[in-house]
Amino acid sequence: MKTIKQLKKLFPLLDQGIVSGGNFFLGVILARVLGLEGYGEYTLVWFVILFCSSINQAWIISPLYTFAPQYKKKEKTNYIRSVLSHQIIFALSAALLVYLLVIVSSLLLPRWQIARASHIVSLIVFCFLMYDFFRRLHYVQGNVSKALTLDVLVYSSQMGGLIVLTYLHKLSLYNAFMTVSISYGLTFLLEYKACFLLNIDRKAIRKTALQHWRYSRWLIGTSLLQWVSGNFFIISAGGMLGPIVVGAIRMLQNIMGVIHILFLALENQVPLKASHLYANKGLQAMYAYLKKVAIRGSLITLLMACTIALLGKQIISLLYAGKHLAYASFLYAFGGLYVLVFIGTCLRFAIRTLEKTKAIFFAYVWSTLFSILSANFIIKQFQMSGILIGLFATQLIMQGYFIYSLKGKSQPYNLELTNMAN
């Protein structure tokens, strides 16, 4: 029994490994078979799906994580049934809007030839949002094993379908979308019973809507700004330089994705300990801890990034059958970017602990304005390098605002915080 309990503690880590690994191999297969242009087109469409997901996270998932544990058993069941109604309505609405968006995009950019996939893309949006909801719901209910089972079903079928299509020489952009939509659609094989438990009581739905709106109105704005700030340069490059550049950037991000394991580990541990230290030992103790994490983590990130960059050509050759080696040198720039992101993550932990979360919203406001106003000029001047310049600049703007927003605390803290950022 002890062994089983110990194994269950590893389920969340195993589950995250399946999701991350599945997305990694999806990118490798598409880039190898479809080339960077096809992979770039897939990525641009997936950005739209992530846009819908970011709103879904703020409007449905985040409040669910906060409110569900507060209810007793019967009230909790009624609340979840009401949230499920909201989830289905949102997923259907998002799918319809994406369908219209793909049609319009195909008219503006006919060379991408994605009009015939409009119904499949909208189906992916609906199925992915429902899959993500049920996966998170299992965590809320403490059923990690069910979340793991769901992810095994989805990603094993996804990888299996792509491998079979590759073996039969039938893998195209359209068939890739079809395979992904089917894999996420398999969610309903496991969750079909829940769909019959909808709460269609208008009062309950209205109450949940108001509750979520009060909680999420700032989160939705932040999510939208975060999406624009992080992706606008890449999307602009897709329109100006073509999907090949987008495919190359996404390929490089995929290779560097192993560093995300460190970031995920931080997210699960550092904020909790920082908050505990701040509450019990004060500001300086919290900062000393975050400074140590920032220094050690930055060095580890730099070491991992340099190792990947030094072996860049070998890694690209192995994963992508000797293709796309010309882009290996850009891995060094991505390594530096990840170090900067790591430092920004530590600054964000400090802001969250000190409850200055509005600073995060305004940091994204300034970085988004910069992206919108400068992306076309920078990309025209520097081509693919302009994307990296833009990504570096948005990180520097956000971190500069983070430091500025924390100047209301004690002077020693400010000096040390500035040193941490440097």
* Total domains, the chain: 2
What is the mean pLDDT of the segment spanning 107-124?
74
Displacement of CA 214 from its chain's centroid (Å): 24
Do 191 and 276 lie in a common domain? Answer: no
Residue where a domain stops, chosen among 166, 200, 234: 200
The fraction of the chain above a pLDDT of 70, given in percent, is 89
Q: Are residues 278 and 413 in the same domain?
A: yes
141 and 281 share a domain?
no
Contacts of 190 (CB under 8 A, 6+ apart): 134, 146, 149, 150, 153
- pLDDT at residue 417 greater than cutoff 50: no
| 254-267 per-residue burial string, b: 16 or more CB within 10 A, e: under 16 | bbbeebeebeeebe
Q: Are residues 165 and 256 in the same domain?
A: no
Q: Which of 333, 372, 61, 55 is nearest to 232 (CA)?
A: 372
**Residue 420: predicted pLDDT:** 43
For residue 276, what are its two tokens? Answer: 């505990």
pLDDT given for residue 415 in this prediction: 36
Does residue 120 belong to any structural domain of this protein?
yes
Q: Domain limits at 112? A: 2-200
Same domain, yes or no, for 250 and 108? Answer: no
Q: What is the pTM of this model?
A: 0.81
Tell me the pLDDT band of 422, cut-offs 50, 70 and 90: very low
Give domain status of residue 395, yes or no: no
100 has a pLDDT exceeding 70: yes
Q: Which residues contact 339 (CB under 8 A, 6 or more apart)?
A: 298, 301, 302, 305
State mean pLDDT over 371-395: 93
Pair (26, 141) in one structural domain: yes
For residues 285-300, average pLDDT: 90
Confidence of residue 396 (pLDDT cuts 50, 70, 90): very high
For residue 407, give every residue at least 6 positions away whose Cβ sits within 8 Å of its Cβ, in sequence order, or none.
Answer: 414
Same domain, 271 and 126: no
Residues 178, 76 share a domain: yes
For residues 363 and 367, what is the distance between their CA atoms, to the nearest angstrom? 6
- 3-class SS at 130? helix
Note the pLDDT tens digit of each residue in 13-67: 787 788 888 889 999 999 999 999 889 989 988 988 999 999 998 899 888 887 8
Domain assignment present for 215: no
Question: Residues 6 or more apart from 194 whose CB is under 8 A from it?
Answer: 84, 134
Residue of 57, 68, 398, 352 whose CA lies nearest to 220: 57
Tokens found for residue 269: 């541990």
Average pLDDT, the chain: 84
Residues composing the chain = 422
Reported for 35-39, long-range contacts at CB under 8 A and 24+ positions apart, including other chains, are: 35/244, 35/247, 35/323, 36/243, 36/244, 36/247, 36/248, 36/251, 36/324, 37/242, 37/243, 37/244, 37/247, 38/172, 38/173, 38/243, 38/247, 39/243, 39/247, 39/250, 39/251
Closest CA to 90 of 47, 151, 133, 48: 133
| SS3 call for 78 | helix
pLDDT at 117 over 80: no
Domain presence at residue 293: yes
Highest averaged pLDDT of the listed ranges 283-287, 322-326, 397-401: 397-401
What pLDDT is attached to residue 62?
84
Question: Do 79 and 171 fall within a single domain?
Answer: yes
CB atoms within 10 A of CB 135: 20
**Does 394 reside within a domain?**
no
Q: In the listed set 200, 228, 254, which residue is the last one of a domain according to the structure?
A: 200
Return the pLDDT at 30.
93
Q: In the structure, what pLDDT confidence band is assigned to residue 196 with cuts at 50, 70 and 90?
A: low
Residue 317 makes CB contacts below 8 A (sequence gap 6+) with 325
- 306-341 confidence digits (pLDDT tens): 999 999 999 999 888 778 888 888 999 999 999 999
DSSP code, position 71: S
Statement to judge: residues 55 and 152 lie in one domain = yes
